[in-house]
Amino acid sequence: IVLTGGDDRLWKTWGFPDGNILLTGEGHTDWISGCCFRPSGTQLVTSSGDTTVRIWDLSRRGCILTLRGHSRAVHACSWHSCGDFVASASMDGTSKIWDVNSERCRYTLRGHRDSVNSIEFLPFSSTVLTSSADKTLSLWDIR
């Protein structure tokens, strides 16, 4: 299964090798910039130009949580390997670590001088890697 998101504000799961669309989700009000499966495979996260990050439940086929806190478009999102945290990177120059269980922002990462374009958790660690339009990479310890 492959997961995609696009300018049409939709995310889609595709089955391979046939390439059939298995599921489609709608709810964002602007383009989808990133999408990622939860490690358990039961949910996914999306980021969007509408400044939100959304958690989707695949069995319910709908959005179960909308995370708000960025002031500009969100460029990327990522799940932590434990499945309890989501990270987001935004044009507002910040990144956020979201606690999915409490449905709140746990940390706001500040330090880049321009848009944060990507974010990834290093596997099985408390380290996050971000890249920015300010031409820097940063490693963050979120403990």
Residue pLDDT, tens place only, 119-130: 999 999 999 999
User: pLDDT band at residue 35, thresholds of 50, 70 and 90?
Assistant: very high
User: pLDDT band at residue 87, thresholds of 50, 70 and 90?
Assistant: very high
Average pLDDT over residues 99-124: 97
Domain membership of residue 133 (yes or no) is yes
Domain membership of residue 92 (yes or no) is yes
Task: Find all residues with CB under 8 Å of 14, minimum gap 6, and list them.
Answer: 1, 2, 3, 4, 20, 21, 22
User: What is the tally of structural domains in the chain?
Assistant: 1
How high is the mean pLDDT of the chain? 96
* CA proximity to 63, closest of 87, 105, 90, 32: 32
By residue range, what is the domain housing residue 76?
Answer: 30-141
Task: Find all residues with CB under 8 Å of 1, minimum gap 6, and list them.
Answer: 13, 14, 15, 16, 22
Domain containing 137 — which CATH number? 2.130.10.10
> What is the pLDDT at residue 60?
87
Domain membership of residue 19 (yes or no) is no
User: pLDDT band at residue 135, thresholds of 50, 70 and 90?
Assistant: very high
Q: Is it the case that residue 33 has pLDDT exceeding 90? A: yes
Phi, psi at 82, each rounded to 5°: -80, -20
